[in-house]
Amino acid sequence: MTDGNVVLFPFLAHGHLTPCLDLVRLLSVRYPHLTLTLVTTSGNLPFLRRLRLPPALRFAALPFDPSDHGLPPDTNTTFALPSHLVTIFNHAVMNSLPPHFRRLLSELIADESLPPLLCVIADMFLGWTAPVAEELGVFHATLYTSGPYAMSIYYSLWINLPHIGGGDDDEDDEIAIPGIPGVTVRRGQLNPKMRAARSMDHPSARFVRVQAESGRRSRATLWNTAEVIEKPFLDAWSRSSDQPVYAVGPLFSAAGRPARDDDGLAAECLAWLDAQAPRSVVYVSFGSQNRLPPKEAAELATALDKQGRPFLWAAPTADQAPPPPETGESGWRSGMVARGWVPQVDVLGHAAVGAFVSHGGWNSTLESLRFGVPTVVRPIEGEQFLNAKLLTEVLGAGAEAVGGKEVAEAVAEVMGEEERGRELRRRAREIAEGLAAAVAEGSGGSEAKGASLRALDEFVQYVMRHSGLQGEVVNETEQNFCGAGHRNNFHGAV
Ligand code: UDP
């Protein structure tokens, strides 16, 4: 059996970091003989060391000073950053880290006290790591922390900006997606930055081009999704690129993500939920870096309160909380605002939760699908509009709405007894069963194992065969398995 060092490099945003840490946990349990090295920037080390991670995990820190790029000095991730600074942060990471990463990889290759460097697994927003690894002869894989449906459309939109030239008035204007026949988006489904972009030189367009072009030099792709929800889009991605695809999600469910230590807020949220009736609560969260406009947040909280509907509102940053009720009372009659990091996975898995109001971040989308919680998406930026499109138009397990009153009405419909609500809930439950099966260990060998666990095993074997190292990495849970890998030939769906 060969040991090897796997270098994992998550992008510096919670929505990217979290699934990468899930992958770390999963690899450490299934492949305990591998050495795992997590790359980050020095400012993130104290936070990471506080999390519950495998004790043998090694850390490697790259220097990064946010002040050099005009960012607030404590900017280690995009957490709580306003949208315009997120773009500056993305470019700062892309422009300043490559030489440090190159030096680190060279050192890891030369370090004889470590096992041989088996591969780099880097986030989809760190595409520039692929040519660096290639130059040093190291196998590189990309971890996509969003699904192929959204990413193929998102990349094509940013690379081609097909909406430029048309008027900007008609929300329902259908825009064809270059390279993806038969798929259109409405103008209203373009995110605000994209909709405002007027030239290929837009900073976000430049950022995405680098990720897509450099990412093509990666030798395999890992996806935090499952075949049961995205098989046609995984196949389409694989047909149009030159990389094997491995759907290994939902990673949080495969790995068993522990709640963060949070000064008691997790326990408080769960105790509040314990006191509510089954399927009665709507959970509201806009993720780690988005917020509703305050007026819309006030309207939504007021409308839910008027419905007398219990709601739990996550506010990891102060400005994500809704403004206080206009009645002058200190709190909501039916709602609880949780100020801090909410244990979202435990909340969505709680029997009291009957619906989710979300910004449509991919992790939140997968988490709600895994627990069969129907979602009302109010997309704000990034590829959230496309995750909403997948959820509503393709999977039929949620609704989309904009505006406080409109979102509250959609919640009433999703949780109500009319035909549409019942059908959305049925689809959500059906998908949840499929996702549970995708990450089930099963018994009786590789055939019984869930498709996402099989894909992870196939990925590890593929890396072994193509990394230039000799030997075989054996999965603890199944000694004889050696999968074939999904090899596909494709060029540039993005
Ligand atoms: N999350 C959480 N508690 C919070 C807010 C967010 O656990 O109070 C987690 C959530 O479960 C998800 C991630 O943070 O795993 C947010 O990722 P997502 O892709 O949904 O949105 P982003 O934050 O990237 O916009």
Which pLDDT band holds residue 84 (cuts at 50, 70, 90)?
confident
Determine the atom of ligand 1 nearest the C-alpha atom of 365: 20
Least confident of 220-229, 255-264, 348-357, 446-455: 255-264
pLDDT of residue 257: 85
Which pLDDT band holds residue 79 (cuts at 50, 70, 90)?
confident
Which pLDDT band holds residue 487 (cuts at 50, 70, 90)?
very low
Which pLDDT band holds residue 489 (cuts at 50, 70, 90)?
very low
Instruction: Decide: 362 in ligand 1 pocket, CB within 6 A.
Output: yes
Maximum mean pLDDT: which of 153-167, 181-195, 367-381: 367-381
Determine the atom of ligand 1 nearest the C-alpha atom of 16: 24
CA 178 to chain centre: 24
pLDDT of residue 108: 98
Determine the atom of ligand 1 nearest the C-alpha atom of 360: 20
For residues 388-415, average pLDDT: 98
> Which DSSP letter does residue 188 get?
G
For residues 480-485, average pLDDT: 31
Nearest Cα neighbor of 125 from 201, 198, 211 is 211
Task: For tokens 């997790």, name the residue.
Answer: 266
Instruction: Decide: 358 in ligand 1 pocket, CB within 6 A.
Output: no
Q: Are the folds of 5-249+441-466 and 264-438 the same?
A: yes
Determine the atom of ligand 1 nearest the C-alpha atom of 260: 7
HSE at residue 186, side-chain half, CA atoms within 13 A, is 10
Nearest Cα neighbor of 367 from 479, 255, 447 is 255
Task: For tokens 């999965």, name the residue.
Answer: 475
Q: Given a cut of 90, is residue 258 above it in pLDDT?
A: no
Euclidean distance between CA atoms 439 and 187, whole angstroms: 36
Which token pair is 206?
């430049």
pLDDT more than 70, % of the chain: 93
Taking the centre of ligand 1 as the mean of its atom positions, its distance from the CA of residue 154, in whole angstroms, is 20
Query: 151-154: long-range contacts at Cβ-Cβ below 8 A with a sequence spacing of 24 or more?
Result: 151/124, 151/237, 151/383, 151/494, 152/179, 152/180, 152/233, 152/236, 152/237, 152/493, 152/494, 153/177, 153/180, 153/183, 153/185, 153/383, 153/386, 153/389, 154/208, 154/382, 154/383, 154/386
For residues 292-299, average pLDDT: 97
Which pLDDT band holds residue 473 (cuts at 50, 70, 90)?
low
Which pLDDT band holds residue 474 (cuts at 50, 70, 90)?
low
pLDDT of residue 83: 84
pLDDT of residue 470: 57
Who wins on pLDDT, 481 or 186? 186
Instruction: Compute CA distances 233 → 223, 255, 277, 325, 404, whole Å.
Output: 11, 24, 38, 44, 33
Maximum mean pLDDT: which of 62-76, 251-265, 347-361: 347-361
Ligand 1, atom 7, residue with closest C-alpha: 344
What tens digit of pLDDT does each residue of 202-251 get? 999 999 999 999 999 999 999 999 999 999 999 999 999 889 999 999 99
The full length of the chain comes to 494
Ligand 1, atom 11, residue with closest C-alpha: 344
Taking the centre of ligand 1 as the mean of its atom positions, its distance from the CA of residue 257, in whole angstroms, is 13
Q: Which CATH superfamily does the domain covering 264-438 fall into?
A: Glycogen Phosphorylase B; (3.40.50.2000)
Euclidean distance between CA atoms 394 and 435, whole angstroms: 16
Instruction: Decide: 90 in ligand 1 pocket, CB within 6 A.
Output: no
pLDDT of residue 468: 76
For residues 85-110, average pLDDT: 96
What tens digit of pLDDT does each residue of 179-206 get? 998 999 999 999 999 999 999 999 999 9
Fold assignment, 5-249+441-466: Rossmann fold (3.40.50)
Residue from 344, 356, 367 to probe ligand 1 pocket by mutation (most atoms less than 8 Å from CB): 344
Domain residue limits, the chain: 5-249+441-466, 264-438
3-state secondary structure of 489: coil
Who wins on pLDDT, 455 or 467? 455
For residues 29-40, average pLDDT: 96
Average pLDDT of the residues of the chain: 91
